[in-house]
């Protein structure tokens, strides 16, 4: 396949992902970026060579180049996924690519989360009047809703008024892979949302409007939500990183701590793979150890013995 042919197939491939595979905007943008990076690399080495370099050979050199640049394993893994998807697309058109690239083994990082006390402090003890914001009701509603539902930042900004059932206290969420699920919220989140709607948000002309808006009355961006959540960091008693995704981690971890079944948490988080949810169970081990030390008979015997001495 020539360079010019690849450019044509690239555009067709991305269109196929969007229309037929129904991938998320985030995935589409990431794959487009990966392929553009590869095209730029191909152009560079092609200019340095007197002969045209085959596509497969170029792809192999591209990934060697990435490894030498010490690109993160997760980024390389995503790029490999991109090219494997491209390979499947070309194979359906009787074009064999025969890639032989192994995904790097990604080290699983333990999720960072806030304790229950830290979350409750931010939600209950930090008042609207303390926030350095023009829309304190909105910002409190965002924090409350993220923790109440465990939804992703991208899912939060996409909530429309019509998606909310205030009677049932549910929100229809369009998650990854455009899969729909229901997120549940309680009375506190309901109160915060209503305060925002009453005191700060302009009256919606239609229920098709987005729930959270910026000062221009436009849909709030994920970057804006990240800044809003980072604003709450100053109210923590210890210096600790905080982000919308860490709030999501906190939501899942606290449910696991309370004994909620991992498959229920999987459903609430919108995880396709149970393995993505099971990483939260390791944190409960600490809690189990604490309980074990408290209730096991042998530890009670030792405790009584120490008290009598």
Q: Which of 9, 79, 152, 192 is catalytic?
A: 152
176 given a catalytic annotation: yes
Please indicate whether residue 227 is annotated as part of the active site: no
**End-to-end alpha carbon distance in the chain:** 84
245 is catalytic: yes
Distance of CA 253 to the CA centre of its chain: 15
**Separation of alpha carbons 265 and 274, rounded Å:** 9
Q: Which of 21, 65, 169, 176 is catalytic?
A: 176
Q: Which residue out of 245, 246, 257, 279 is catalytically annotated?
A: 245
Task: Give which of 20, 25, 33 is closest to 79, Cα–Cα.
Answer: 33
- Active site (annotated) includes residue 172: no
Q: Can you spell out the DSSP letters for the chain? A: --HHHHHHHHHHHHHHHHHTS---HHHHHHHHHHHHHHHHHHHHHHHH-SSPPPHHHHHHHHHHHHHHTT--HHHHHHHHHHHHHHHHHHHTTT-------PPPPPPPPPPP---HHHHHIIIIIS-GGGS-SS-HHHHHHHHHHHHHH---HHHHHT-BGGGEETTTTEEEEE-GGG-EEEEE--HHHHHHHHHHHHHTSPPPSSTTSBSSB-TTSSBPPHHHHHHHHHHGGGGSSS-----HHHHHHHHHHHHHHTT--HHHHHHHHT-SSHHHHHTTHHHHHHHHHHHHHHH-HHHHHHHHHHHH-
152 is catalytic: yes
* Residues acting as catalytic residues: 152, 176, 245, 248, 271, 280
């Amino acid at each position: 396949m020539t360079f010019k042919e690849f450019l044509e197939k690239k555009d067709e491939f991305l269109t196929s992902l969007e229309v037929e595979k129904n991938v998320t905007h985030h995935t589409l943008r990431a794959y487009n970026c990966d392929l553009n990076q590869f095209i730029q690399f191909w152009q560079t080495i092609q200019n340095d060579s007197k002969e045209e370099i085959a596509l497969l050979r170029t792809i192999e050199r591209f990934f060697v180049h990435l490894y030498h640049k010490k690109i993160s394993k997760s980024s390389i893994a995503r790029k490999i996924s991109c090219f494997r998807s491209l390979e499947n697309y070309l194979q359906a058109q009787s074009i064999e690519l025969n890639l032989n690239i192994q995904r790097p083994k990604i080290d699983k990082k333990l999720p960072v989360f806030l304790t229950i006390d830290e979350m409750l402090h931010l939600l209950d003890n930090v008042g609207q009047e303390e926030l350095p914001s023009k829309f304190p009701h909105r910002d409190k509603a965002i924090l409350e809703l993220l923790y109440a539902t465990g939804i992703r930042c991208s899912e939060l900004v996409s909530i429309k008024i019509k998606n909310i059932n205030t009677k049932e206290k549910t929100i229809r969420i369009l998650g990854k892979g455009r899969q729909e699920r229901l997120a549940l919220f309680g009375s506190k989140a309901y109160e915060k949302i209503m305060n925002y709607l009453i005191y700060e948000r302009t009256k919606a002309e239609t229920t098709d409007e987005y729930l959270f808006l910026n000062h221009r009355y436009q849909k709030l961006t994920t970057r804006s939500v990240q800044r809003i959540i980072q604003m709450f960091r100053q109210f923590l008693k210890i210096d600790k990183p905080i982000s919308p995704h860490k709030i999501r981690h906190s939501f899942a971890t606290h449910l696991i701590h309370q004994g909620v079944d991992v498959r229920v948490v999987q459903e609430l988080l919108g995880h396709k793979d149970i393995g993505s949810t099971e990483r939260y169970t390791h944190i409960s081990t600490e809690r189990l150890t604490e309980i074990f030390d408290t209730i096991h008979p042998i530890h009670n015997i030792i405790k009584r013995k120490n008290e009598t001495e």
